[in-house]
């Protein structure tokens, strides 16, 4: 009897273990993802949820719905100076509370529900106020999702590419900094019904190693830009992106070539004044090259009503090149004037020589033909003559003091040569002075604007 009783107990225990194991396996086979359809049908079924009605305010009040926004900047492709716009690709996220969407999370099994159709739930009517063009991404699937959390919170995320307007001030170009904004506002709901707020913590994120060809993103600032119209006040968010232009590109492509052209134009000062073809061709070539450089720079910029820093630089460089060409015209004129003066001196000397010879011939005829003696006064006064001493004393005091510049210029007998020598010194000194004034002025203004 004891053995039979033990055998019965053993069989009951085996049966209980088998039943419990089968129940556990059945529980493990349950796919809680399949429960999502039931939950979605429960909270979004017909007659249960209306996407046309906005959610209530905080804690179910009649106040405005609060929507928190954050951005992730994936890339900034182009910043156009001509069109004054920039292109950006970003992940845009909105999060708000809709208590009508609360559901049972099955003891933490359902963390959130995922939707890909935005029209099934209420959506804020946000738009980008400074947008020119924009599109969403649909490769391979539409890059958008909506997550509904058990406590009624809704997260909307989408990847978009935008071309946004960016008004620029180019007075300091290319030593400038530009502020490009991204503005987001409500189109139809006023602040009585809908308010946009930046997400607490880190509302704007930028991808690491963001590379821009001619700019550097220094920093970004978030702010609010609510606007008031005849129909009410509308909530608005903005983020200001501060871009600094990379100066090394313009230094290599514009400033150094312009300096080289100006210096090359000074070579004509060292050429002989008689080398007319060489000096003319050098001056005209540098002038045309500088004009082409200036037109190429202006072609890459929009026409504005004010003077830019690059306009001052190219204008002064063009003036120096043109001045070198005018200097040769002055030298050529002075050279011809010197030649004419030398010819006139030679003719005068020839006339004086002929006249002196004729006077000597006449005096010889008088001495030989006349027997009369004339008592002539001496032409030279005696050494002790007081008038002669006074005149010599005055001449000593009237002599100019020695001048190093005049003494140095006296080494060059012609005026044309003196003009070339003076230009060799004057042009570089004036250009160096211009560089000091230019860089100190615009760099100081750049630091002032930065501060």
The order of strands in the sheet holding 215-224 is: 126-128, 177-186, 236-245, 215-224
pTM for the structure as a whole: 0.73
CA distances from 154 to 103, 145, 327 (A): 12, 10, 77
- Please tell me the distance from the alpha carbon of residue 190 to that of residue 284, in angstroms, as a whole number: 66
pLDDT beyond 80 at 290? yes
Phi/psi of residue 40, nearest 5 degrees: -65, -40
Sign of torsion, CA 420 422 423 424? positive
* Residue-level length of the chain: 451
What percentage of the chain has pLDDT greater than the value 90?
45
Looking at the chain, the number of H-run helices and the number of E-run strands are 9, 14
Strand, coil or helix: 218: strand
pLDDT tens, residue by residue, 216-264: 999 999 999 999 989 899 999 999 999 999 999 899 999 999 999 999 9
Number of Cβ within 10 Å of residue 70's Cβ equals: 19
Residue 81 in contact with residue 214, Cβ under 8 Å?
Answer: no
Confidence at residue 405, expressed as pLDDT on a 0 to 100 scale = 58
First to last CA, the chain: 101
Confidence at residue 380, expressed as pLDDT on a 0 to 100 scale = 47
- Please tell me the distance from the alpha carbon of residue 185 to that of residue 187, in angstroms, as a whole number: 6
pLDDT band at 173 (very low <50, low <70, confident <90, very high): very high
Confidence at residue 8, expressed as pLDDT on a 0 to 100 scale = 62
pLDDT band at 47 (very low <50, low <70, confident <90, very high): confident
Burial class of residue 184 (count of CB atoms within 10 Å of its CB; 0-12, 13-18, 19+): buried
Phi/psi of residue 383, nearest 5 degrees: -55, -30
- Please tell me the distance from the alpha carbon of residue 2 to that of residue 10, in angstroms, as a whole number: 12
Burial class of residue 46 (count of CB atoms within 10 Å of its CB; 0-12, 13-18, 19+): exposed
Alpha-helical regions (H) of 174-275? 247-250, 256-265
Query: For residue 381, what are its two tokens?
Result: 């006064």
């Amino acid at each position: 009897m004891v053995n039979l009783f033990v055998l019965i107990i053993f069989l009951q225990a085996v049966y209980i273990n088998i039943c419990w194991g089968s129940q556990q396996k059945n529980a493990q086979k349950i796919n809680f993802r399949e429960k999502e359809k039931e939950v979605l049908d429960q909270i979004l079924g017909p007659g249960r949820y209306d996407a046309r009605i906005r959610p209530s305010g905080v804690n179910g009040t009649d106040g405005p719905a609060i929507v928190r926004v954050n951005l992730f900047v994936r890339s900034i492709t182009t910043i156009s100076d001509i069109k004054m716009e920039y292109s950006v690709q970003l992940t845009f996220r909105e999060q708000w509370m809709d208590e009508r969407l609360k559901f049972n999370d099955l003891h933490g099994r359902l963390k959130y529900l995922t939707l890909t159709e935005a029209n099934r739930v209420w959506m804020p009517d946000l738009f980008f106020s400074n947008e020119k063009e924009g599109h969403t991404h649909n490769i391979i699937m539409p890059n958008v999702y909506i997550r509904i959390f058990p406590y009624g919170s809704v997260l909307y995320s989408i990847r978009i590419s935008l071309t946004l307007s960016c008004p620029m001030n180019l007075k300091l170009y290319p030593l400038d900094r530009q502020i490009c904004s991204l503005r987001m506002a409500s189109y139809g709901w006023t602040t009585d019904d809908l308010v946009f707020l930046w997400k607490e913590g880190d509302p704007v994120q930028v991808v690491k190693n963001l590379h821009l060809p001619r700019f550097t993103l220094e920093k970004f600032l978030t702010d609010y830009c609510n606007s008031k119209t005849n129909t009410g006040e509308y909530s608005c968010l903005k983020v200001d992106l501060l871009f600094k232009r990379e100066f090394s590109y313009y230094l290599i492509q514009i400033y150094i070539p312009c300096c080289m052209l100006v210096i090359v134009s000074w070579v004509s000062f060292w050429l002989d004044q008689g080398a007319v073809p060489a000096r003319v061709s050098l001056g005209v070539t540098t002038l045309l090259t500088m004009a082409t450089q200036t037109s190429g720079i202006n072609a890459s910029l929009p026409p504005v009503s004010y003077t830019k820093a690059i306009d001052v630089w190219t204008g002064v460089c063009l003036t120096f090149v043109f001045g070198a060409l005018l200097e040769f015209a002055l030298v050529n004129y002075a050279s011809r004037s010197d030649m004419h003066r030398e010819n006139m001196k030679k003719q005068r000397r020839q006339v004086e020589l002929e006249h002196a010879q004729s006077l000597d011939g006449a005096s010889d005829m008088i001495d030989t033909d006349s027997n009369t003696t004339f008592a002539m006064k001496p032409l030279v006064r005696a050494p002790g003559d007081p008038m002669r001493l006074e005149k010599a004393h005055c001449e000593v005091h009237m002599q100019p003091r020695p001048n190093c510049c005049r003494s140095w210029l006296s080494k060059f007998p012609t005026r044309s040569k003196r003009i070339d020598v003076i230009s060799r010194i004057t042009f570089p000194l004036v250009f160096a002075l211009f560089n000091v004034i230019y860089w100190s002025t615009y760099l100081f203004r750049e630091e002032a604007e930065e501060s």
